């Protein structure tokens, strides 16, 4: 089953709870949190306290995408706050095996993230140790960017790598996904589709989430 993961980065934080509830009513499968520290990426967002508040009211899994330095220092805080999935960048870590094992030892699913210009070969070894891979289809740091079309080729190649090395690994894709490309992206091999502005820019978040979820369901039948 293809999973839809709204990214709250594009939400209106004044009414965050209402908007998350609308996503859940519309069929969101998990919630994606873009954690940025102003060092690894040129933007600052939020920390574990935000996940902790949401976790108390929300039954779907929380997916923390860490775009921060010193991941080992903060991984325990995010899992304690309620993250069910935690992903870290392959570009950002000299001891990625240790960080992935840390995530798993604390009971969360471990993911590795790869930026658009990083060769997929950087994942070869690491695929043995992860539950999921997050393929970036924009450069990380901001919502609302344009999908990098080359990502479709990368996704297909990644899918075949995963099948060859560790078929249990799920593929998540993140950046520039919206109603016009979600079916193509799902069919190219993505299992989890992150959508930020493609949901939260809508006047009716519940209806937009449902529309995207239905497109994903229809893509499975094609």
Distance CA 102, CA 18 (A): 33
Contact by Cβ (8 Å): 194, 5 = yes
Which of 77, 82, 92 minimizes the C-alpha distance to 122? Answer: 92
Residues 6+ apart with CB under 8 A from 11: 19, 20, 200
Q: Any catalytic annotation for residue 63?
A: no
Which of the residues 29, 34, 63, 131 is marked catalytic?
Answer: 34
Q: Any catalytic annotation for residue 29?
A: no
Q: Rounded to the nearest whole angstrom, what is the least distance from the CB of residue 213 to Zn ion in the complex?
A: 19
Give the residues lining the site for ligand DX5 (CB under 6 A). Answer: 7, 9-10, 32, 34, 65, 138, 140-141, 143-145, 174-177, 194-198
The DSSP symbol for 60 reads S
In the sheet with 62-67, reading across from the earlier edge strand, the strands are 3-6, 192-195, 170-174, 132-136, 109-114, 85-89, 62-67, 31-36
Site string for Zn ion, 170-189 (x = CB under 5 A): ----x---------------
Which of the residues 37, 63, 174, 191 is marked catalytic?
Answer: 174
Q: Rounded to the nearest whole angstrom, what is the least distance from the CB of residue 47 to ligand DX5 in the complex?
A: 16
The footprint of Zn ion on residues 3-62 (CB under 5 A) is: 34
Closest CB to Zn ion: residue number: 65
Q: Which is nearer to Zn ion, 33 or 216 (CB)?
A: 33
Task: Using CB under 5 A, list all residues that contact Zn ion.
Answer: 34, 65, 174
Please identify every residue annotated as catalytic.
34, 174
């Amino acid at each position: 089953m293809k999973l839809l993961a709204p990214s709250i980065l594009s939400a209106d934080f004044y009414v965050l709870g209402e908007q998350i509830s609308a996503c859940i009513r519309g069929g969101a499968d998990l919630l994606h949190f873009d954690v940025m520290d102003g060092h690894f990426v040129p933007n600052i967002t939020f920390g574990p306290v935000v996940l902790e508040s949401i976790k108390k009211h929300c039954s779907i899994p929380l997916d923390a995408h860490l775009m921060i330095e010193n991941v080992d220092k903060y991984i325990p805080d995010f899992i304690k706050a309620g993250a069910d999935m935690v992903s870290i960048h392959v570009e950002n870590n000299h001891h990625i095996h240790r960080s992935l094992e840390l995530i798993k030892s604390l009971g969360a699913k471990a993911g590795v993230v790869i930026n658009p210009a990083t060769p997929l070969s950087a994942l070869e070894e690491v695929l043995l140790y992860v539950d999921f891979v997050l393929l970036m289809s924009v450069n990380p740091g901001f919502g609302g960017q344009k999908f990098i079309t080359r990502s479709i080729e990368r996704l297909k190649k990644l899918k075949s790598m995963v099948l060859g090395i560790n078929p249990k690994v799920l593929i998540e894709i993140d950046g520039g996904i919206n109603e016009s490309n979600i079916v193509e992206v799902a069919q190219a091999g993505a299992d989890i589709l992150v959508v930020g502005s493609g949901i939260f820019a809508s006047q009716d978040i519940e209806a937009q989430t449902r529309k995207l979820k239905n497109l994903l369901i229809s893509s499975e039948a094609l």
